[in-house]
Amino acid sequence: MTTFPISGTAGDLLRRGRPLEWFTLGWKVVGVIVLATIAITASSVAMAGFAIVSYAVRESIHIFHGEE
């Protein structure tokens, strides 16, 4: 396993990590929208359920990090 040294202050690490967090959340939003669209088009209850669970996971990340 490759390890990478962590250098910088806490502020530096937060400044570098925030864009990655926003990208991840944005990617999850896109995924939920795509899943919901496909579920509606295919009339698939299972896929709609998966979209709802994906949305719940995205929201739980916001709650866990204290964001609204």
Residue 35 lies in a domain: yes
Residue 3 lies in a domain: no
Counted domains in the chain: 1
* DSSP string covering the chain: -------S-HHHHHHHHHHHHHHHHHHHHHHHHHHHHHHHHHT-HHHHHHHHHHHHHHHHHHHHHT--
Residue 46: domain span: 19-65
Q: How much is the pLDDT for 1?
A: 58
Residue 5 lies in a domain: no
- Here the tokens at position 45 are 């209850």
Nearest-angstrom CA–CA distance, 22 and 27: 8
Residue 11 lies in a domain: no
Residue 46 lies in a domain: yes
Residue 10 lies in a domain: no
Residue 41 lies in a domain: yes
How confident is the prediction along the chain (68 residues), in pLDDT tens digits per residue? 566 666 778 788 888 888 888 888 888 888 878 888 888 898 888 888 887 887 788 777 766 665 55
Residue 34 lies in a domain: yes
